Amino acid sequence: MKIYVIRHGLTKCNIEKRFNGRYDEDIIDEGINQAIKASYIVKKLDIDLIICSPMKRTKHTMELLNVNNIDVIYDDRLMERNTGKLTLKKIGKFYDNEYYNYYSTKIIEGLETLPKLFNRVHSFLDEIKIKYKNKNILLVTHGSVARAIQFYFEKIPEDGMLLNISGQKNCEIKEYEM
E strand or H helix at 63: helix 56-65
Task: Let me know if residue 35 belongs to a domain.
Answer: yes
pLDDT at site 88: 97
pLDDT at site 95: 85
For 90-114, give the secondary structure using H, E and C.
Answer: ECCHHHHHHHCECCCCCCCCCECCH
Number of domains in the chain: 1
Q: Give the range of the structural domain holding residue 82, as residue numbers without chain letter.
A: 2-142
Task: Let me know if residue 132 belongs to a domain.
Answer: yes
Task: Let me know if residue 48 belongs to a domain.
Answer: yes
Task: Let me know if residue 108 belongs to a domain.
Answer: yes
Residues in the chain with pLDDT values less than 50:
none
Task: Let me know if residue 151 belongs to a domain.
Answer: no
pLDDT at site 165: 82
pLDDT at site 96: 82
User: What tens digit of pLDDT does each residue of 43-53 get?
Assistant: 999 999 999 99
Whole-angstrom distance, CA of residue 82 vs CA of residue 111? 6
CATH code at position 46: 3.40.50.1240
Task: Let me know if residue 148 belongs to a domain.
Answer: no
Task: Let me know if residue 170 belongs to a domain.
Answer: no
